[in-house]
Each structure stands twice: as C-alpha cells, then as structure tokens.
C-alpha cells in the first residue's frame, strides 16, 4: 500500500517542502530508502525500524520502500525520522491517509520511540504556513519555536505514539501557544548590563553612540584594561529594540544553527564575540553542511572582534564582502545558500604589541614595531571602519568619583531619534542607515554650506585625507547632525567626524 506524509528540509535560512512516500509490497523483506540521502538520513532506517518496534507496532516481513521527493535535492539532517515512521504506519493501515493531509511533520526518533529535537524548526513551520498547511507536528522541545508562527496550528510531541494519537484524532490536544508581548517585555527587563556601569570614557561612549545611531562600524584602540570589551558588550543595550520581523529573521538563523536553547524566539539583539583563533568558515559560515557563521549569528546585533590584529589574516579579510553586502553567500556544488549578515562590526585592539604606546614610560616598542603591529590589518579592512576611537587608560578619579553616568536607556532614546530621522529621510529607498550611503547618495544627502565646505577642504589638504576618508567623514557627520535632529551639517559636526576618522597606516605614529 502506498502512503504519503509531508516534511521539510532546511535550505539556507529557508525551508523546502519534502514529501515522504512509503510503499509496502510483497517481496523479499527489505527496508529501503531512496531520494538523494545523506548518510544520517539513510541511518533513519534503523532508528525508524526499532522505534516502531519499541512503540508496539509490528513490522511485517514485506518489502518497504521509502522515497523522499523531490529526489534531486540533497536531504540532510535527522528531521525525517518521524515523517518516515508515520508514512510507514499509514502504509500499514494504522493511520488513514486523510489524516496526513495538510500536516507537516518533523522530528528525530530515538530507539525507544521518543521524539528528539531538531534544528531549523522555525523556518520550516514558517514555510508550512506560507504554503497553506493547516498544522505542524514538531518535537516537544522545539514547541516554543513553532508556536511563534501565527496562522498555523503546531503541536509538540514527545513520542511516536503521541504523534499517532494526535494524527488519528483519538486524543484531543490544545495547540501550542505563546504570548509574544510578554516575551518581548521580559527581554527588556532582564537585561543585566548597562552603560552606567562604565566609568569615564566619555569620548569612547560618545563615539559608540554615534556608531550605533548610523550603524557605522567602529574600531576601538586602547591599552589593556581600558574597558574596550566592557564598552563593546554594552552596545546592544543602546540599540533600538528588535522588531518582530527582525526577531523572526534572527530566530530563523539561530534555529538552523541549533542555538535556540529552548527559547521560542530570539528577542534580544545578539552580541557575538568569537575568539581570535576562529577559522574563516566559522566566521562567515559554510562547512560541508553549510551553517551560518558568527557574522550571521550577529545579524541585527553586534559582531565584536577583540584583539583584531591577532585574528588570522585570511579569516578577517573575508569579512570585507559580507560587510558590504549585508549577506553571506555560501556556494556549494549542489546549491548556493544565502545567510543574512547585517551586523555592526565592533573591533578592539591595542596600539602596539606591548599595549601602552604612546606612553613612553611603559612602552619600549620602536615606531617600526608599532607600525608593523597595525600593518597586520589591511587597509581595505581598515576602510570598513567609519569610526575609530582611542580608549584611554582609566585613572582613579574616573573609577571612584566622576558623578553619575548616563544609563543605556537615556542613550537609547537619542539613538532612536536619530534612527527615526534616517528612516524618514531615506523612505522608499534601499537605504536604512547613514552608513549605507554611497558616494552618489552622499552628494544628495550630505549637502554642505560654503563655510563647512571650506573647512573640510582645508582639513582635506592639511591632514592629507584620502577620498575614502572624505566620504566616511561626511557619513559620520550626517549621523552626528541626525543625533542633534539637525538637517543641516554644521562645522561642529564635521570637526567631530574628522576626530573619529579612521587611522591610515601612513599616518600612524610619526
């Protein structure tokens, strides 16, 4: 007898529907699975056979053939165990075929018949809803993820027999539900970190505020212990809250990467801080079975690279293109996958190998050594940082006194205003932040009056700026003006932007 169940496979950050067909006919007792399967899918044969037996079903000595179609897409992962088992049970007549109509099933089986969690449930359920499916059966542990998608009924099951009962309608179950509002509210409350904990560092804080407002990448240079990491960790706290769409997109990535950790939705902006020994693949994504890398996991959040010069050169160089395109494309023989990667890049480094330059009482590095240390980062990558700021060694006054510090809440209010200004200005275009301005659009949106023009011209000549530096200064000046809710860019804004201009290897040291 022939039967058909529906399941899905993850492809990039989206899902494709897969139908699982089972047929039981006379012949030699064989359990065969076909349909361009990876070895973990082929192994489903053993898991399904034993799980069925342990769940109390008798498998007759007949020829069982399972086909996963479309047969030209490579099937990977363990999510097909449960649909295969259900399809076989249907073919055996334990379940009527009508019950499987409009039902999407995913789940991994363990030998005792329990259903284990799988990766990528969120994009799968989302895709099922889009395709007009009525209900989804997913592992209990992934129930939260599935419940987030509205417009489709999802049921979490803990075992094979539970799934059978549910499908046959013998047990009536309530669908999974989750209250998104409370979820988002909780996220805002339980955030432990705050900018008010960082003493001093006025310049760095100001630079970070500007960077977040215009989504500029920022490089912090400072001696060890000056609080660079502490500052970076608090950057997500001043970013505007995640919208539902953003959260959905982000959760899809985390769902595929298997990093949901029982959460229903990622509701907080991510802060990813990979160690400097990270490989290229782990950073931008890829691998034999393509997975999103750190840059995608930091989507809508912060990717923090501490000790930038210590990273493998080729690992950080590959960041250049994804940073521009806000997406990573991983091409494989079978298909190419695209992962979104719209993150803010924050990097920190010491000014020299000992870390104390220009404090000559502590630093013994020669100018050449200092230059060589910076030289480990290529100029093109350096050009990706719109803002570069020196973090200063903190002194006792900063740590002890210094009065109350601004809280993240207050800073975030200003950031939100600046972002609102940008959204309104660029409405109807594919620009959302000042950092995305191109030389052409800079001309349009960063108009200068003659006084400012002459100031910038003088600075350009005297400070030996490059064309790229010129554009970066204008973009940052635009954001500084936005923070003050000023449409006009004044000379004050320009001077501040020049102060944050990124270092040029040529002008490093004397």
Partner 1 sequence: MLQEEYRYWLANLPGIGPRKINQLLQIFGSAQEVYSAGSEVLQALKRDGLLMGHFEEKDLETILTNRNAEKIKLQYAKLQRDGIYFVSREEEGYPQKLLPIFDAPYGLYYKGRLPGQEEKLLAVVGARDCSPYGIEMTNYLAAAIARAGIAVVSGLARGIDSYAHTAAVGVGGTSYAVLGCGIDICYPRENLKLYMKLWQEGGIISEYPPGTSPFAGNFPMRNRIISGLSDGILLIEAKEKSGSLITVDYGLEQGKEIYVLPGRANDRLSAGCNNLIKMGAKLVTTPRDILEDLIMNYEQSVDELKKNNKLLESTGKIVYASLCLEPKHIEGIAAETGLGMDIVMEQLLLLELQGFIKQPMKNYFVQCSY
Stated length of the chain: 510
What stretch of H or E contains 109?
Answer: strand 108-109
Contact pick of 215, 389, 411, 437 for partner 1 (by CB under 8 A): 389
Q: Does 353 bind partner 1 (CB under 8 A)?
A: no
Give residues with Cβ within 8 angstroms of 385, minimum separation 6: 216, 217, 218, 219, 345, 347, 502
Q: x/- binding map, residues 72-111, to partner 1, per CB under 8 A? A: ----------------------------------------
Structure tokens given for 287: 């691998």
Based on the number of CB atoms within 10 Å of its own CB, is 80 exposed (0-12), middle (13-18) or buried (19 or more)?
buried
Q: Does 358 bind partner 1 (CB under 8 A)?
A: yes
Contact pick of 43, 191, 197, 390 for partner 1 (by CB under 8 A): 390
Contact pick of 463, 485, 487, 505 for partner 1 (by CB under 8 A): 463
Contact pick of 273, 312, 329, 491 for partner 1 (by CB under 8 A): 491
Bridge partners, residue 136, by sequence: 104, 154
CB of residue 463 vs partner 1: minimum separation in angstroms? 7
CB 210 within 8 A of CB 387: yes
- Please work out the total of residues on this chain that contact partner 1, with binding judged by CB under 8 A: 38
Q: Does 200 bind partner 1 (CB under 8 A)?
A: yes
Name the one range near partner 1 by CB under 8 A: 83-91, 269-277, 304-312, 366-374.
366-374
Nearer to partner 1, 200 or 292 (CB): 200
Written in H, E and C, the secondary structure of 413-478 is: HHHHHHHHHHHHHCCCCCCCCHHHCCHHHHHHHCCCCHHHHHHHHHHHHHCCCCHHHHHHHHHHHH
CB of residue 202 vs partner 1: minimum separation in angstroms? 6
Helix (H, G, I), strand (E, B) or coil at 213: helix
Bridge partners, residue 116, by sequence: 108
Q: Does 350 bind partner 1 (CB under 8 A)?
A: no
Q: Does 221 bind partner 1 (CB under 8 A)?
A: yes
Bridge partners, residue 104, by sequence: 6, 136
Name the one range near partner 1 by CB under 8 A: 80-88, 246-254, 407-415, 500-508.
500-508
Binding site for partner 1 (CB under 8 A): 200-204, 206, 221, 351, 357-358, 360-361, 364-368, 388-390, 392, 455, 458-459, 462-463, 480, 491-492, 495-496, 498-499, 503, 507-510
């Amino acid at each position: 007898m022939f039967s058909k169940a529906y399941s899905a496979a993850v492809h990039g950050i989206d899902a494709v529907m897969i139908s699982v067909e089972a047929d039981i006919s006379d012949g030699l007792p064989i359990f065969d699975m076909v349909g361009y399967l990876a070895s973990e899918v082929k192994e489903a044969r053993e898991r399904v056979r034993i799980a069925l037996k342990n769940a109390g079903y008798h498998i007759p000595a007949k020829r069982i053939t399972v086909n996963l179609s479309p047969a030209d897409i490579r099937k990977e992962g363990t999510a097909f165990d449960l649909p295969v088992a259900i399809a076989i049970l249907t073919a055996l007549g334990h379940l009527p075929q009508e019950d499987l109509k409009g039902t999407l099933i995913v789940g991994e089986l363990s030998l005792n018949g329990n259903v284990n969690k799988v990766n990528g449930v969120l994009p799968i359920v989302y895709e099922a809803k889009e395709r007009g499916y009525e209900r989804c059966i997913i592992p209990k542990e992934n129930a939260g993820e599935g419940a987030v998608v509205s417009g489709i009924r999802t049921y979490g099951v803990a075992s094979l027999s539970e799934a059978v009962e549910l499908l046959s309608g013998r047990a009536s179950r309530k669908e999974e539900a989750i209250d998104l509002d409370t979820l988002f509210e909780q996220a805002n409350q339980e955030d432990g970190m705050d900018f008010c904990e960082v003493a001093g560092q006025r310049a760095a804080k100001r630079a970070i505020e500007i960077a977040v407002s215009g989504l500029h990448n920022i490089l912090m240079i400072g001696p060890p212990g000056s609080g660079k990491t502490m500052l970076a960790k608090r950057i997500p706290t001043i970013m505007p809250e995640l919208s539902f769409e953003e959260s959905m997109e982000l959760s899809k990535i985390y769902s595929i990467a298997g990093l949901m950790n029982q959460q229903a939705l990622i509701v907080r902006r991510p802060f990813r801080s990979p160690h400097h020994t990270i490989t290229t693949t782990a950073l931008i994504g890829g691998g034999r079975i393509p997975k999103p890398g750190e840059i995608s996991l930091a989507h809508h959040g912060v990717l923090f690279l501490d000790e930038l010069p210590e990273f493998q050169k080729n690992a950080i160089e590959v960041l250049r293109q994804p940073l521009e395109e806000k997406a990573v494309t991983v091409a494989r023989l079978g298909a190419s996958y695209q992962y979104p990667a719209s993150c803010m890049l924050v990097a920190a480094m010491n000014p020299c190998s000992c870390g104390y330059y220009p404090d000559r009482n502590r630093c013994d590095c020669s100018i050449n050594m200092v230059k060589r240390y910076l030289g480990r980062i290529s100029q093109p990558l350096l050009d990706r940082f719109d803002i570069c700021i020196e973090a200063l060694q903190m002194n006792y006054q900063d740590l002890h006194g210094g009065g109350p510090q601004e809280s993240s809440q207050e800073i975030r209010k200003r950031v939100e205003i600046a972002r609102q200004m940008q959204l309104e200005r660029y409405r109807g275009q594919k620009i959302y932040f000042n950092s995305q301005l191109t030389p052409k659009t800079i001309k349009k949106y960063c108009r200068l009056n003659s006084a400012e023009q002459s100031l910038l011209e003088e600075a350009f000549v005297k400070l030996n700026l490059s064309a790229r530096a010129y554009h970066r200064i204008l973009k940052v000046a635009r954001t500084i003006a936005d923070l003050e809710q000023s449409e006009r860019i004044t000379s004050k804004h320009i001077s501040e932007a020049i102060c944050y201009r990124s270092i040029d290897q040529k002008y490093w040291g004397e």
